[in-house]
Amino acid sequence: MEQIVFLDRATIAPQIQVRRPDFEHLWQEYEHTAENQALERLRDATVVINNKVPLRRKTLEKLPSLRLIAMAATGYDCVDRAACEELGITLSNIRGYAVNTVPEHAFALILALRRNLLAYRQDVQRGEWVKADQFCFFHHRIHDLAGSNLVIIGEGSIGQSVAALGRAFGMHVMFAAHKGSTSLGPLYTPWEQALALADVISIHCPLTPATEWMIGMDEFRAMKRRPILVNTARGRIVVEEDLATALRDGLIAGAGFDVVSVEPPPLDHTMMRLLELPNFILTPHTAWASDEAQQTLADQMIDNIENFVRGKPSNVVV
């Protein structure tokens, strides 16, 4: 009988239904699991459902019964992929569920920053409109999306959906070539050229050794048009101290982030100290989390488990 352990059920909203697989099994779920609790909770597990709990080699090597890690997410950087391959543990993930929710969240950030909504809202709260001697005032610049250059980093399904929304707004869409790449297809704009031309940059690539800390001070200085930078991917793609400098020195016009290198961030974290700025928006890693997207995720996660047990594994990473 399969023994299924869900390590972090609280990472899916309580209103989302997680159905039980249609085969005989034992089910154990925990709201949260710390890394040092994982081994004890998984000792007899054959299947683990995991979102963000680190599962490293030292843990996986002590779990001889484990056959499947079913991620409740697309990203799997918290799991030691090489160890899974060596130990014969199948790793599956979720795909295609966020093609509406993440692009819509990205554009909510883009629109708010391009039109300086936070700054104007703060002005209204402070009474600036009441004191104005005409029907409106112009304390902050406002820019249309139509005619502007949208650079997308990451050409997967989410990046493609962002591109479709950008085109609907009349933006000129470019996909940035991979940093350091010399072989370019017709889809891509060279990395340095894309940074120089961008009015808006939206990040949708996975976190890998090649993308970790990919955007730092050299890249900010190359952004000639002072774009806004939006990151709904992973926090460690952008050097956060350099982002703070870029914002304060006016190298970019604004930034909207849904991700941080440490989640949740402590109060003294660099990104938390930027919240005083009217051209910075930080949301708590919720771009993926519309009810519709979460239900699709939960259903696909159980599909992956059922398919694995039937001998026809789906969405296999390892």
pLDDT 10s digits, 13-60: 999 999 999 999 999 999 999 999 999 999 999 999 999 999 999 999
pLDDT at 250 (0 to 100):
97
The CB density around residue 272, as the number of other CB atoms within 10 Å, is: 14
Q: What is the pLDDT of residues 179-238, one digit of tens each?
A: 988 777 888 999 999 999 999 999 999 999 999 999 999 999 999 999 999 999 999 999
Point out which residues pair with 228 in neighbouring strands.
200, 254
CATH architecture of 2-97+291-309: 3-Layer(aba) Sandwich (3.40)
Spatial distance between the Cα atoms of 165 and 111, rounded to a whole number of angstroms? 12
pLDDT at 139 (0 to 100):
95
Sign of the CA dihedral 31, 37, 40, 46? positive
Q: Where in the chain is the domain with CATH 3.40.50.720?
A: 2-97+291-309, 101-282
Helix axes 101-114, 117-125, angle to 10 degrees: 60
pLDDT at 183 (0 to 100):
72
Sign of the CA dihedral 291, 292, 296, 299? positive
To the nearest whole percent, how much of the chain has pLDDT over 70? Answer: 100
The CB density around residue 185, as the number of other CB atoms within 10 Å, is: 9
Spatial distance between the Cα atoms of 4 and 50, rounded to a whole number of angstroms? 11
pLDDT at 114 (0 to 100):
98
Q: How far is CA 243 from CA 29, 152, 239, in A?
A: 38, 18, 6
Point out which residues pair with 124 in neighbouring strands.
none
Spatial distance between the Cα atoms of 146 and 37, rounded to a whole number of angstroms? 51
Look at residue 157 and tell me whether its pLDDT is greater than 90.
Answer: yes
Spatial distance between the Cα atoms of 227 and 230, rounded to a whole number of angstroms? 10
The CB density around residue 155, as the number of other CB atoms within 10 Å, is: 18
Superfamily for domain range 101-282: NAD(P)-binding Rossmann-like Domain (3.40.50.720)
Q: What residues act catalytically?
A: 234, 263, 285
pLDDT at 195 (0 to 100):
98
pLDDT at 268 (0 to 100):
97
Average pLDDT over residues 120-130: 96
Average pLDDT over residues 292-311: 98
Record the tokens describing residue 107, joined without a space. Answer: 């554009």
Q: What is the pLDDT of residues 235-282, one digit of tens each?
A: 999 999 999 999 999 999 999 999 999 999 999 999 999 999 999 999
Point out which residues pair with 90 in neighbouring strands.
68
Spatial distance between the Cα atoms of 55 and 83, rounded to a whole number of angstroms? 10
User: What's the predicted TM-score (pTM) here?
Assistant: 0.92
